[in-house]
Copies of this chain bind each other. A is one copy, B any other.
Amino acid sequence: MTTLKKHYHHGDLTTSLLESASLIIKEQGVENLSMRKLADIVGVSRTAPYHHFKDKNTLLCSLAEQGFKEQEKDLKRLTHQKNASRESFERYVLMYLEYARSHSEIYDLMFGRTIWKAGTPTDSLKEASKQTFKAWVNWVEQLQQGGVLPNSNTPLRIGQTTWASLHGLARLLIDGIYLDQTDQSEMTDQMIKNLCLNDLASP
């Protein structure tokens, strides 16, 4: 973005576009990203991006895909660590919510309707999201075996519901409905309690 060559051929427009787009949506939100502004910032004509991305939707899918890849890496690291303790799970929940907060626009692309309903998810994106979810379910399985998450159902089902809960919380924190910082942290604490298997041992 900073290095703008004045050659006819840009060099590596594809990644340049992705980087700039990522920056724009981070700072101004996805609704303020236009292909034309993006092209302008990268220093190229309006339609140049269309030789690297079929359309705007495809570009957004690419952005979302990066997010999934990153999340999958985090999950796999946790799973290989083989530390399925409650503390470990708590750390992940906090990490998940922090990611959602600090990359709220990417998060919205990953799970929001912009791509999944209004747009059309790329095959590549669908695959990435599926892979990430699989990594999540794997970790949930470990957490069940570690006695952190309930064993009352399959890893898939427990994974779906606890993730839905986490996702719901993330959305509320992100979408501008809950802004009070105190509420946010206490909601998170309570949510963890809701998700985890209660320790029923008497004191």
Contacts and interface: CB of A to CB of B under 8 A. Distances in A.
Contact of A191 (B164, B169, B177, B193): B164
A21 to B, nearest CB: 17
Listed from nearest, the 4 A-B pairs whose CB atoms lie closest are A168-B168, A116-B176, A165-B165, A117-B176
A101 to B, nearest CB: 13
Interface in A139-182: 150, 152-153, 157-158, 160-172, 174-178
Interface of A: 29, 31, 108, 111-113, 116-118, 129, 150, 152-153, 157-158, 160-172, 174-178, 183, 186-187, 190-191, 193-195, 200
Contact of A168 (B31, B113, B171, B183): B171
B29 A117 contact: yes
A185 to B, nearest CB: 11
A200 B176 CA distance: 38
Contacts of A129: 177
A111 B167 contact: no
B118 A162 contact: no
A171 B161 contact: no
Contact of A160 (B112, B175, B187): B187
Contacts of A152: 193
